[in-house]
Amino acid sequence: MFETKSGVFLIAGLFFFAIAFLGNALVPMMMYRDLPELTAEQLVNPHVMEHFRDLSERYPESFEEHFVLGPTEENCAEALRLGRSVYVGEACWHCHSQFVRPVGNETVRWGPVAETWEYQNELQRPVLFGTRRVGPDLSREAARRSNDWHAAHFYRPVDTSPGSVMPEYPWLFDGAVYRPNKRGLALITYMQFLGTQLPTYPYYERWESDLDGLHPGVGIPKERWEQMQRAYRGAEEASTSASIEEDDNTDSPATEGDEKKEDAS
């Protein structure tokens, strides 16, 4: 058996492969078969629509040119699909992961640990877990940054993030940073979708310790939000001598807060 053709072709070739396939591929498939797979239309939610509308207001000319009917849910779904295909085609997924692990302090940095249901949708076909992080995880990216931050960043990453090695993507724009083209708008929409599915959206670094019973962002009282921001500033100034302006590439909570405010305004 060990040196015969049938042994090699049938047992090693077919049978062992089949065992591995049964155990490693069919088992998870059966386990998750009851989780519905959502379409892009079903994924469109109020959070991502908020950003999509914001895009239409910030970049009215580009937006009207490429999404004729305005910020509708259908257009948003289309943008998500296109944004994802740009994400795949540019190999963003080779520099950014899309899952948060339960180890390595990742929940502090990005948000809750990834769960299977988050991936049961059309935009994760094939799934975009990723295996390398040159840049940060993006699975909870929505609302971390404002739309125009993303535009500026895609146009020339070092402008927003000095020292960044992320490539420039000028072809996502019609000649200037304030004119993202269809692919640019779609990619930004996709960025602002990642993480909106989760009940505790949005997230930024050290999101958990800042929660304090409430979650910041959508739905919390304005006074409370400003109070939290003052608290961050105070803590920041006490702990480091660096001023907030100089420090805007360090992902500190204060900076995040600023952007959040910009975004909301």
Partner 1 sequence: MTQATAQPLPTQSRPLVCETLVTLYFVMALVFFTVALTAGFVMALQLVYHNPLQGIELFSPGRWRMVHTNAIAYGFLSNAFLGVLHWSIPRLTMKPVLSVALSWFIFVAWQGIVLATAIGILYGQAQAVEWGETPVWIDPVAQLGLLLVCFNFGAPIVAMRGPMYVSLWYFGAAFVWTFLNYAMGNFLPQYFIPGTGAGAIMGLFIHDLVGLWVTPIGWGMMYYFVPILLKRPIWSHGLSLVGFWGLAFFYPLTGVHHFLYTPIPMFLQYGAVISTIAVEFVVTTVVINFFGTIWGVARKNLRENIPIRWFYTGMVLYFVTCFQCAFQTTLTFQKIIHFSDWVVGHAHLVMLGVFGFWVIGVMVYLFPRLLGTEWWSRSLLEWQFWLMVSGKILMFITLTIGGLVEGFAWYNLTPWIETVTMAVPFWAFRAFTGVLIYVGNLLFLINIVMTWLKREPKQPSLQAA
- Which residues contribute to the site for ligand HEC (CB under 6 A)? 87, 90-92, 95-96, 134-136, 138, 141, 144-145, 157, 161, 164-167, 169, 187, 191
Q: Which one-letter amino acid corresponds to residue 236?
A: E
The CB density around residue 117, as the number of other CB atoms within 10 Å, is: 12
Q: Which is nearer to partner 1, 95 or 244 (CB)?
A: 95
* 256: nearest Cα among 109, 49, 69: 109
Structure token digits, residue 153: 């960043």
Q: Which is nearer to partner 1, 35 or 214 (CB)?
A: 35
Residue 250 is a binding residue for partner 1 (CB under 8 A):
yes
Residue 39 is a binding residue for partner 1 (CB under 8 A):
no
Those residues with Cβ within 8 angstroms of residue 163's Cβ, 6 or more apart along the chain or in another chain: 249
Q: How many Å apart are CA 31 and CA 253, to the nearest integer?
A: 39
Smallest gap from Cβ 257 to partner 1, in A, equals 15
Q: Which is nearer to partner 1, 71 or 111 (CB)?
A: 111
> Considering CB distances under 5 to 8 angstroms, the limit depending on partner class, which of ligand HEC, partner 1, none binds residue 215?
none
Q: Which is nearer to partner 1, 11 or 218 (CB)?
A: 11
- Cα–Cα distance list, 251 to 210, 211, 224, 258 (Å): 14, 17, 22, 11
Q: Which is nearer to partner 1, 25 or 220 (CB)?
A: 25
DSSP state of 184: H
183-212 residues in contact with partner 1 (CB under 8 A) are: 205-206
Smallest gap from Cβ 202 to partner 1, in A, equals 17
Stretch that binds partner 1, among 51-59, 107-115, 142-150, 234-242 (CB under 8 A): 107-115
> Considering CB distances under 5 to 8 angstroms, the limit depending on partner class, which of partner 1, ligand HEC, none binds residue 144?
ligand HEC
Among 163, 175, 199, 213, binds partner 1 (CB under 8 A): 163
Structure token digits, residue 229: 């921001």
Terminal CA-to-CA distance of the chain, rounded, Å?
A: 74
* 182: nearest Cα among 62, 38, 94: 62
- Cα–Cα distance list, 170 to 3, 105, 152 (Å): 58, 34, 10
Smallest gap from Cβ 102 to ligand HEC, in A, equals 21
